[in-house]
Structure 1
Amino acid sequence: MARKTVVLFPGVGVGHLAPMLELAKAFLRHGGGAVDVAFAVVEPPVMGNGFAATVARAEAANASVAFHVLPTPPPASGSEGDGEPEQDHLARMVGFLRATNAPLRDLLRSLPSVGALVLDMFCGDAVDVAEELGVPAYFFFPSGAAGLAVFLALPARRASMSTSFAGLGASTVLSFPGAPPFKVSEMSEGISDDGEAFQAILRIAARMPDARGILINSFESLEPRAVRALRDGLCVPDRPTPPVYLVGPLVSPGGDDKEHECLRWLDAQPDRSVVFLCFGSMGAFPKSQLAEIAVGLEKSGQRFLWVVRSAPGAGEPSADDDLDALLPAGFLERTRDRGLAVRSWAPQADVLRHRAAGAFVTHCGWNSTLEGVAAGLPLLCWPLYAEQKMNRVRIVEDMRLGVGITAADDGAVSAEEVETKVRWVMGDSDGARALRQRAAAARDKAAEAIAEGGPSDVAFVEFLKDLLEASQDMHG
């Protein structure tokens, strides 16, 4: 059988590219020489967040994977300077990705023997390209099984309601098959009202069942309730749900910067003694919130490693300012014997797996959540944007691998809350000990899932078999 090229299309955003890079490695491990892997990438029009640099690093680190940068489509008429509100960036992103259908089609036509197209969740419109060219299409859903269960159920649920979700009231509790109950206020950004972003999401969610299968970055024992709901067809009531393949945890293996100062600092700390605080590629705070975190950490008396990223804004320090300018006077000096603050970035996967790491304060992005789970750390959940509030509910209520950090109505978290939760998670109460035990058990299950013969390993082999059969059928 001729080798097939599998094309991965991660859309835009570092958080969507990173797990797809791990998926590419799984193809190379399991493909047995039957598949080549290529990426179609496009420079995002807004919120690049180092996307180009990430692509360059990925290309350098994955010599056996081809990277094709699609030409950026022209801006849609009326999209420049028309005063659209900032919260509709999601709608603009989906529209931008729809406009990449033409260059994506050109790329697929130019490649030899394309066997399948694997799409990010936001690239639903590219199913049209796959159908036109007779290429099997699969989705890769980067936010877990319960996230997919809710996502797939949205069109039918909204159609059954006489008002928007927001119209029900922020404190109204919603129940979806496969997911723990959550409030309207905990829904993903942009989908509680009936605005442009929600319309774009509904359209993508309605297209997803058109795919031949859906890959999920999770593992069965982490989200059994959601897996059952998906496989029983409860999330898409009016048509068949495609096969779902749980192939995770697909997380960074680390090794990004083995010489980073923070790893040397961790080497000098006792086992499981350090709280790690890191809030993702977009998790930046105003100086006032940084001060509250600093005071809370200092009063907690616990060892900490803190990745500090400040939000640019009127009167705020610039991104180039040093830590002394960002943090309360004397804080670094007073805590230097037990804490380390680093600017903007740390090799997260390496830190989480370091023997000195004891807990993880996270924004609940799914990649970070899985990295924390795979490392066996209790999670302190501080969601900031996107679907992270819903992820917090899943982590705390369903997985029971973390505790929530409580914010005020304006989103701010007090020094007292930081101090209390950090001290608790590192403490010796029955609850904290039980949480650590559950986290260690989940780590072992995560390792078993992706080991040879484990559930996620078997699921990937099944998926690859289906892909090759589908490709044969379509190409004769």
Structure 2
Amino acid sequence: MAMASTKHVVLFPFPGQGHLVSFLEAARLLRCVLPGDVSITLVSTPRNVAALRASASASSPSSLDISFHALPFLPADHGLPADCESTSSIPPPAYLMLFEAFESLEPAFDAYISSLAAECGSVCVIADVFVAWTVGVARRRGCAHAVFVSCGAFGTAILHDLWKNMPALPFGDDGLLRLPAFPEVELHRSQMSQVFLSSPSLGMDRLIAFHDRQTQHGYLTDAVLMNTVQELEPTGLAIVRRTLGKQVPVCSIGPLVGDGSAGTATDDGVAVMRWLDSQPPSSVLYISFGSQNSIRRKQMMELATALESTGRPFVWAFRPPVGLHPNIDGVEEWLPAGFEARARAANRGLLVHGWAPQVSILAHASTGAFLSHCGWNSVLESLTHGVPIVGWPLSAEQFYNVKTLAEEWGVCVEVARGNLESSTVESCKVAQVVETAMGAEMRQRAAAVKEVLKKAWAEDGGSSRTALQEFLGVVRLH
């Protein structure tokens, strides 16, 4: 006979790929540490729920006791394409429409939480920063509430203050930005997403207003969870705590990283693993710019030229250049003539067209470095496996992830910034930086960080294990 639920944890991610992945890992963690009579449910819109359920069923056994609940949602009611329920379905300039559309889910979410509160002893809502409005529902229904930040602490703190000071960011004549709240941090214009450099407009006003609403909601939460580690980001976490004040505990419970085992079961995954098996230890450069972004054709040409000049074996998770479509423009137009054929003939490189089993690639003994856009999930997946990073940030907090990893740990070396027409990269610099990242010194530093992340979950007082227990106490889940 099933045990009656006395408590219920409801996790509500925003539907960006990195957010969904992190929330699923958070749900798995909670399932492993909480008693069986505590129910755990992931909430989103129908298509996102289907994707989350599929991801959960394809991986670890700890996902089997996680439930899912779909809130009614019609994208067309908000001017979105009929099948659009996540950021993967629209270009970045249209994200605001999805942000605002998700705010309209409040009545349906309120009704769901109200029904749960009537059924069991207590409910805890764990919400994405982009749905921080859920704190209003939690307060009305007498529930605990937490915000879960799937990004790193330093990048989150910087983005928070950038939005807080929009649209009048105080750039100096030297092109540097010193944020009022963090005068010790210097940022260059090239470390800004284009949105922070855009001219004022009605759309920008709406975007600033949205971020301000979520920020104000976030200040009312009971706790903040972060997918990072105290020892990895002491500076970033100190800034976040200073921003929120003592009344909101900040609990770093990372690294939340999946094992990636599901991806290797596919035919493509098996082929990639077999190819990696044929390469020498720590020799392969893995290249990926994330699931939703890419570089420009000219930049792609320079990167490919650099790979050929070094002779370094590589696996490239390949996406079309920015602004181009695979059904219209062929790969031969994006890369040097014969590049892919030469790489395959010499057993020197693989282009994986579409999805690649990233965690399994990073865990493989032949992988020596990761050329990455430095999204936070990718950062943690790389460092968890002791793989140094070649940073090519493209947007959002990625620029600041590179900054903290390079300056505080020396496990990342930046090769380029951005994918604008004005963003430049030269093949000779790419080749030089790749060899630096794959050198013995940087690999040793990355191995040291791997141990730091591992110790965060040590039974005898690991920082993330301790932070999780603090969080469970704050939201009354002990």
Band the TM-score falls in, shorter-chain normalisation: 0.7 to 0.9
Aligned to 1:411: 423
Note closer, same or farther for the CA distance 1:34–1:53 as it changes in structure 2 (3 Å cut).
closer
Aligned to 1:137: 145
Distance in 2 between residues matched to 1:329 and 1:339, nearest whole Å:
15
Aligned to 1:66: 67
In the alignment, is the contact (CA less than 8 A) between 1:312 and 1:319 conserved in 2? no
In the alignment, is the contact (CA less than 8 A) between 1:154 and 1:202 conserved in 2? no
Distance in 1 between residues matched to 2:286 and 2:422, nearest whole Å:
25
Any residues of structure 2 matched to 1:12-411 within 5 Å, and which? 12-42=15-45, 52-59=50-57, 61=59, 62-72=63-73, 88-111=93-116, 112-113=119-120, 114-153=122-161, 158=165, 164-165=168-169, 171-175=175-179, 176-177=181-182, 180-188=185-193, 190-191=195-196, 195=204, 196-231=206-241, 234-236=242-244, 240-259=246-265, 260=269, 261-311=271-321, 313=323, 317-318=326-327, 326-336=334-344, 337-407=347-417, 410-411=422-423
Secondary structure of 1:38's aligned partner: strand
Tell me the CA shift for residue 154 of structure 1: 5.3
Note closer, same or farther for the CA distance 1:338–1:77 as it changes in structure 2 (3 Å cut).
closer
Structure 2 gaps, min length 5: 82-89
Q: 345-354 or 380-389, which moves further after superposition?
A: 380-389
In the alignment, is the contact (CA less than 8 A) between 1:59 and 1:66 conserved in 2? no
Note closer, same or farther for the CA distance 1:392–1:189 as it changes in structure 2 (3 Å cut).
farther
In the alignment, is the contact (CA less than 8 A) between 2:252 and 2:467 conserved in 1? yes
Distance in 2 between residues matched to 1:110 and 1:319, nearest whole Å:
50
Tell me the CA shift for residue 139 of structure 1: 0.3
Q: Pick from 432, 437, 442 the counterpart of residue 435 of structure 1.
A: 442
Aligned to 2:455: 448
Note closer, same or farther for the CA distance 1:89–1:77 as it changes in structure 2 (3 Å cut).
closer
Tell me the CA shift for residue 105 of structure 1: 1.3
Secondary structure of 1:222's aligned partner: coil
Q: 167-176 or 383-392, which moves further after superposition?
A: 167-176
Distance in 2 between residues matched to 1:313 and 1:235, nearest whole Å:
38
Percent identity (aligned) = 31
Distance in 2 between residues matched to 1:217 and 1:244, nearest whole Å:
11
Kindly provide the amino acid, as one letter, of the partner of residue 264 in structure 2: K
Aligned to 1:474: none
Distance in 1 between residues matched to 2:254 and 2:260, nearest whole Å:
16
Secondary structure of 2:374's aligned partner: coil
The CA deviation string for residues 422-441 of structure 1, in whole angstroms up to 9 with x for no partner, is 23323xxxxx4332221110
Tell me the CA shift for residue 263 of structure 1: 0.9
Kindly provide the amino acid, as one letter, of the partner of residue 165 in structure 1: L
Secondary structure of 2:314's aligned partner: strand
Matched pairs, number = 446
Distance in 1 between residues matched to 2:415 and 2:282, nearest whole Å:
21
Note closer, same or farther for the CA distance 1:180–1:367 as it changes in structure 2 (3 Å cut).
farther
Q: Pick from 456, 463, 472 the counterpart of residue 464 of structure 1.
A: 472
The CA deviation string for residues 13-41 of structure 1, in whole angstroms up to 9 with x for no partner, is 11101011111111111102242110111
In the alignment, is the contact (CA less than 8 A) between 1:31 and 1:464 conserved in 2? no
1:8 partnered with 2:8: no
Task: Tell me how large the CA RMSD over aligned residues is.
Answer: 3.0
Tell me the CA shift for residue 177 of structure 1: 4.0
Distance in 1 between residues matched to 2:131 and 2:21, nearest whole Å:
16
The CA deviation string for residues 125-172 of structure 1, in whole angstroms up to 9 with x for no partner, is 1211111111111000111121333345457x639xxx6117667922
Tell me the CA shift for residue 375 of structure 1: 1.0
In the alignment, is the contact (CA less than 8 A) between 2:132 and 2:214 conserved in 1? yes
Note closer, same or farther for the CA distance 1:3–1:60 as it changes in structure 2 (3 Å cut).
farther
Aligned to 1:429: none
Distance in 1 between residues matched to 2:433 and 2:66, nearest whole Å:
43
Tell me the CA shift for residue 353 of structure 1: 0.8
Tell me the CA shift for residue 72 of structure 1: 0.8
In the alignment, is the contact (CA less than 8 A) between 1:246 and 1:459 conserved in 2? yes
Secondary structure of 1:394's aligned partner: helix
In the alignment, is the contact (CA less than 8 A) between 2:6 and 2:38 conserved in 1? yes
Tell me the CA shift for residue 400 of structure 1: 2.2
Calculate the TM-score normalised by the size of structure 2: 0.84
Note closer, same or farther for the CA distance 1:108–1:147 as it changes in structure 2 (3 Å cut).
same
